[in-house]
Amino acid sequence: MRPDLIQAALKSAQGVGTPLWLYEAEPIRQRVAQVSAFDCVRYAQKANSNTHILRLLRAMGVMVDAVSLGEIERALRAGYEPGTDRNEIVFTADIIDEATLARVVELGIPVNCGSPDMVRQVGHAKRGHPVWLRLNPGFGHGHNRKTNTGGPSSKHGIWHEEFEDSLRLVDEFGLTLVGLHMHIGSGVDYGHLHRVCDSMLDMVRRANRPLEAISAGGGLSVPYRDGEPEIDIAEYHAAWNETRREAERITGGPIRLELEPGRYLVGNAGLLVAEVRAVKQVADKHFVLIDAGFSDLARPIIYGSHHDICFVTPSGVPVAGPTHPLAVAGPLCESGDVFTQKDGGYVEFRDLPLPAVGDLAILRDTGAYGAAMSSNYNTRPLAPEVMLDGGALTLIRKRQPLEQLLDLEEGGGTL
Ligand code: LLP
Does residue 192 or residue 74 have the better pLDDT?
74
pLDDT at position 345 over 80: no
Between CA 233 and CA 405 the distance in angstroms is 43
Which pLDDT score is estimated for 184? 86
Q: Is 99 exposed, middle or buried (0-12, 13-18, 19+ CB in 10 A)?
A: exposed
Cis check for the bond before 19: say yes or no (omega within 30 of 0): yes
Instruction: Judge whether 228 is annotated as a binding position.
Output: no
- CA-92 nearest atom, ligand 1: 3
% of the chain residues with pLDDT over 90:
91
pLDDT at position 189 over 80: no
Between CA 182 and CA 117 the distance in angstroms is 18
pLDDT in tens, 286-335: 999 999 999 999 999 999 999 999 999 999 999 999 999 999 999 999 99
Q: What is the mean pLDDT of the chain?
A: 96
pLDDT at position 48 over 80: yes
Rounded to the nearest whole angstrom, what is the distance from the C-alpha of residue 253 to the centroid of ligand 1?
30
Rounded to the nearest whole angstrom, what is the distance from the C-alpha of residue 409 to the centroid of ligand 1?
32
Mutate to test the pocket of ligand 1, among 46, 148, 265 (most ligand atoms within 8 A of CB): 46
Which pLDDT score is estimated for 149? 85
Please give all residues whose beta carbon lies within 6 A of any atom in ligand 1, as ranges. 44, 46-47, 92, 147, 149, 183, 186, 217-220, 260-264, 299, 303, 368-369
242-246: average pLDDT: 98
Asked if residues 37 and 237 have their Cβ atoms less than 8 Å apart, the reply is yes
Bridge partners, residue 338, by sequence = 329
55-81: average pLDDT: 98
User: Where residue 154 falls among pLDDT bands split at 50, 70, 90?
Assistant: confident
Does residue 144 or residue 379 have the better pLDDT?
379
Instruction: Judge whether 219 is annotated as a binding position.
Output: yes
Identified catalytic residue from 113, 197, 310, 333: 333
- ipTM of this predicted complex? 0.99
Longest dimension (CA), the chain: 70
Which pLDDT score is estimated for 99? 98
Domains within the chain, CATH numbers bracketed: 36-260 (3.20.20.10), 268-406 (2.40.37.10)
Q: Is 393 exposed, middle or buried (0-12, 13-18, 19+ CB in 10 A)?
A: middle
Which DSSP category does 328 fall into?
A: E
Which pLDDT score is estimated for 84? 78
In this structure, of 35-44, 82-91, 112-121, 317-326, the range with the lowest mean pLDDT score is 82-91
> DSSP characters for 218-241?
-------STTPPPP-HHHHHHHHH
Q: Please give the single-letter amino acid code of residue 165.
A: D
Instruction: Judge whether 227 is annotated as a binding position.
Output: no
User: Where residue 83 falls among pLDDT bands split at 50, 70, 90?
Assistant: confident
- CA-369 nearest atom, ligand 1: 24
Which pLDDT score is estimated for 86? 81
Count of C-beta atoms within a 10 Å radius of residue 286: 18
pLDDT at position 153 over 90: no
Which residues are CB-neighbours of 121 under 8 A, at least 6 positions away?
A: 96, 101
Which pLDDT score is estimated for 279? 98
User: Where residue 85 falls among pLDDT bands split at 50, 70, 90?
Assistant: confident
Asked if residues 50 and 397 have their Cβ atoms less than 8 Å apart, the reply is yes
Distances (CA, A) of 13 to 239, 346, 353, 361: 44, 30, 22, 11
339-343: average pLDDT: 88
Rounded to the nearest whole angstrom, what is the distance from the C-alpha of residue 249 to the centroid of ligand 1?
31
- CA-219 nearest atom, ligand 1: 15
- 3-state secondary structure (DSSP) of residue 243: helix
Bridge partners, residue 342, by sequence = 346
The model's pTM is 0.97
205-217: average pLDDT: 97
Asked if residues 224 and 365 have their Cβ atoms less than 8 Å apart, the reply is yes
Between CA 134 and CA 260 the distance in angstroms is 13
130-150: average pLDDT: 89
Between CA 299 and CA 222 the distance in angstroms is 15
Which pLDDT score is estimated for 293? 98
Q: What are phi and psi of 235, to 5 degrees?
A: -65, -40
Known active-site residue 333 = yes
